[in-house]
Structure 1
Amino acid sequence: MIQNTKIDHGRGFDWGRTSSDYAKYRDIYPKEFYQKLIDMGLCVNGQKVLDIGTGTGVLPRNLYQYGAEFTGIDISKNQIEQAILLSQKSKMDINFQCVPAEKIDFPCDSFDVVTACQCFTYFNHEELAPKIHNMLKSNGRFVVLYMAWLPFEDVIAGKSEELILKYNPVWTGCKEVRHPISIPEVYSDYFTLENQEVFDVSVSFNRESWNGRMKSCRGIEASLSEAEVEQFDHDHRKLLEEIAPKEIQILHYAAITVIRKN
């Protein structure tokens, strides 16, 4: 269970409760999302990469084809179990470990790249920043990635978000607009900003997968009781039958920030 007064007004959440649906419905980043990293020479052949907050291993599994040697860590045992199952199913040799990011203890100069996708807000940065700095090789890079739907521009996303807030009014993962990823000041002691991008992506779903994507978000399965999740599922499916075609394109924005080790 994670609790942070800056997230969901202090309401606790547990990503382990979402693991089954997370594995099924959260592997959704489009090709151009990954291509941005490859074009920047990140997560490619000859590099050792640590993915913190790896969840079900979405980033390492999708970038595995480009030849980097990946390690993925996550605080949730259930998430790591799913990551191992999915990587083994695809015959990928990825080292997954269940450990909080702030407790990682790899030797100095272990990695060329460290990535954090969709999880940066959850960390204790005062503890994490020096650890990442020490583990990176000379001129190594820390890459922070994020993607979110745009509720004020996409009707289906907006209506779905309204329903999440009906069931969980304290959920703060809402009302997203395009913005670069904010890097806490503590990182400036260890890193220099190298690159920052914000760009739009259209993500394909059908009613079933969009419902699964909504259900497996922090505001629903990670936070609510089973009965509440079941009722949300019922109401969201009904909503999608009323407003959504069977095949859906949901407008998102993506953001990537790269900082280089000093």
Structure 2
Amino acid sequence: MTKEFDPDFGLTAQDYGRHRAGFPPALMERLSSSGIGVPGQDVLDIGTGTGSLARLFARSGATVTGIDPAAPLLEQARELDRAAGVEIGYHVATAERTGLPDASFDVVAAGQCWHWFDAPAAAAEVRRLLRPGGRVVIAHFDWLPLPGNVVEATEALITAFNPAWTMGGGTGLYPRWLTDLATAGFTGIETLSFDLDVPYTPEAWEGRIRASAGVGASLTPERVEEFTAQLDAVLRKDFPGEVLQVPHRTWAVTAVERAAGEPA
């Protein structure tokens, strides 16, 4: 991301914790079938935010650590963990410099955050942290803008308020991350994806959008309030009803840390 657009998700921690839909449990079902996130593994979730992906690993029986540079998000994560009945150790740190010991994890995961990292530095740090044969997981859970749907209309409004935000029009697929991992020396690269609809009330959708990089994490409070009012008007006019069914795509890439002496 450019220096001109440098969102601070700590500014929108409450909306982030309350309104951002977490990764669906079906993702962990698919990962665990490949031996990722199974009971007894040590898992690190980098860029954990409010712990959405970390909690899935914890519920699966793994011992989980989460790091994020935004302390307010970690406070929200701890509250959500208490409600979920899981225990996760959190630390303020970046993906590029975790401060954690070498070869201390079986799995390192990054959920909805790899695009914010210095990819070469983050990939090198992941390799340092993984035990031989350990696995990396980069996962996303993205809304899908389709012609005429509520996501397309919402993205248009975000862009009108914040031209520096250029993350609209996504497909929920990230082929560049495969190159990042291959360049860093990971092997056994595989991907998975599946789609599902997420129900939001209009109020919850407004909260979800406030918790996005282009709104609450980068606009002034006054502009966020103005944005919310305009989004509310759009929803009432063009998408009336008590529930919005918002299409999402879950996508993940997994790879293996090549053991010492293994041929490239």
Q: Calculate the TM-score normalised by the size of structure 2.
A: 0.90
Q: Which consecutive unaligned segments of at least 5 residues does structure 1 have?
A: none
AA partner of residue 230 (structure 2): D
Q: CA deviation at 1:243?
A: 2.2
Residue 190 of structure 1 aligns with an amino acid whose one-letter code is: G
Q: Is the 8 A contact 1:129 1:190 kept in 2?
A: no
Matched, 1:260 2:256: yes
Q: Gaps (5+ residues) in structure 2?
A: 259-264
Q: Is the 8 A contact 1:56 1:83 kept in 2?
A: yes
Deviation at 1:21, TM superposition (A): 0.4
C-alpha separation in 2, matches of 1:53 and 1:103: 12
Task: Find 1:191's aligned residue among 183, 186, 191.
Answer: 186
Verify the 8 A CA contact 1:77 1:98 in the aligned structure 2: yes
Aligned equivalents of 2:60 and 2:172: distance in 1? 29
Asked whether 1:247 is paired with 2:247, we answer: no
Aligned to 1:13: 7
Q: Deviations over 1:223-258 (max 9, x none)?
A: 000000000111111211122221121112221100
**What is the one-letter code of the residue matched to 1:83?**
A
Q: Structure 1 residues 28, 206: closer, same or farther in 2, change over 3 A?
A: farther
**How many Å separate the matches in 2 of 1:159 and 1:121?**
24
| Deviation (angstroms), 1:46 | 1.2
Letter in 2 for 1:163: L
Letter in 1 for 2:15: D
User: Residue type matched to 1:58 in 2?
Assistant: S
**1:17, 1:222 within 8 Å by CA — same for their partners in 2?**
yes
**SS at 1:28's partner residue?**
coil
Among 124, 130, 135, the residue aligned to 2:124 = 130
Equivalent residue in structure 2 for 1:182, among 176, 185, 191: 176
* Structure 2 counterpart of 1:103, from 61, 74, 97: 97
- In the superposition, relative to structure 1, how do residues 154 and 53 fare at CA in structure 2: closer, same or farther (>3 Å)? farther
**What residue in structure 1 maps to residue 164 of structure 2?**
170
The answer (yes or no) to whether the contact 1:30–1:203 under 8 Å persists in 2 is no
The answer for the alignment partner of 1:50 in structure 2 is: 44
Structure 2 residue identity aligned to 1:141: R
CA distance in 2, matches of 1:162, 1:51: 32
Question: What is the RMSD computed on CA atoms of the aligned residues?
Answer: 1.8
The equivalent of 1:201 in structure 2 is 196
Q: Is the 8 A contact 1:154 1:250 kept in 2?
A: no
Post-superposition offset of 1:82: 1.3
Letter in 1 for 2:17: A
C-alpha separation in 2, matches of 1:106 and 1:93: 19
4+ residue runs over 6 A deviation:
none
5 Å-filtered alignment, 1:68-147, equals: 68-147=62-141
State whether residues 104 and 131 of structure 2, in contact with CA within 8 Å, keep that contact through their aligned partners in structure 1: yes
Distance 1:142 1:242, change over 3 A: same
Length, aligned pairs only = 256
1:93 to 1:154, Cα distance in 2 relative to 1, 3 A: farther
Q: Distance in 2 between matches of 1:181 and 1:145?
A: 12
Deviation for aligned residue 1:185? 4.0
Q: Tell me how far apart the structure 1 counterparts of residues 92 and 22 of structure 2 sit (CA, whole Å).
A: 23
Code of the residue aligned with 2:73 in structure 1: it is Q
Structure 1 SS opposite 2:96: helix
SS in 2 for 1:102: coil
In structure 2, what residue type is equivalent to 1:197?
L
Q: Secondary structure, in 3 states, of the residue corresponding to 1:101?
A: coil
